[in-house]
Structure formats: C-alpha cells, structure tokens
Structure 1
Amino acid sequence: MPPPLLRALDAGDAPFSPSQRDQFKVLKHIICFGYYTSLEGATQELAYQAIPGGFKGSIPLAQTGKGWGSLARY
C-alpha cells in the first residue's frame, strides 16, 4: 500500500493542486509503461508468449468467424 503522502497526491487532496495530481498521473503512466515494456517486466512480471495460442498458417475464414485487426491508429 502506498504511503499516505502518495495517496493524497494521487487523489489530489490538500496540500496538492489539481495540476500536481495530473503531473503525478503522467509520471505513474510513464513509469508503468517503461517497466512493462522492459525485458524484466515483459518476461518476469507478465505472462509472455511470443505467439499466444500458437500459430496456424492456413485456416478457412469460416473457422475463425471473422478477421482481426488493430484499432490503433499509427
């Protein structure tokens, strides 16, 4: 459990301002992103599989039901 000071900062309670709360949330996001995309975070903390469920080269579309794509906009 985080110390009371960090809980107050995360909640934006006094003596912290809303802008300090926002900056703290950005810092938390950057730290978590950095950790979970590192070698240790991706292989030791997360359950890593290069190809989850294995790879099946050629299967009929009717067997899967639909095609899959990314919703990310690169």
Structure 2
Amino acid sequence: MNAQNVLLTHFSARYPGMPPRRGDGPSAGGDPVVGIAFDFTRLRLGDMWKLNAYLPAIHQMFDEFGEEDPMEIDLTKLQ
C-alpha cells in the first residue's frame, strides 16, 4: 500500500476497548503512522505524526476504567 499514514475509524460503541499496541517505539522500516480515531476526533493530516505521543495517556485512561474484556484487533494483519 505504501501509505505514510493510516487512520483507523468506526470502532463500535458497544466495545469501548482500546486496540492493543503493536510496539512502543517508533517504527523502523518505513511503516506508516497508525492512528486510532473515536467519535468526534478532529485531526489534520499534517499532525498524524503526533499521535504516538498521545497513546500512553489514552491507554492509561482506559486502564483506569478497568477494561474487563477488551476488543482484540491484531494491527499486524491490517498491513
């Protein structure tokens, strides 16, 4: 696909879980920036690279609410 940015959208409100992360560091092989958008997300295309800075805070927020059965999405199969 050779995309520089991929934004995943349309997550179900019935499954408020956070998709698992593939890795914590920046990608090293030219992998695209992968972002996750929920309802009412506003994002400029040029700001996609900033998304990784927000992920730890988003994961912490979901952890504090105690996810019992998170929605499982294997992001590695989307490439």
TM-score (norm 1): 0.31
* Structure ranking higher in helix proportion: 1
User: Whose Rg is larger?
Assistant: 1
TM-score (norm 2): 0.30
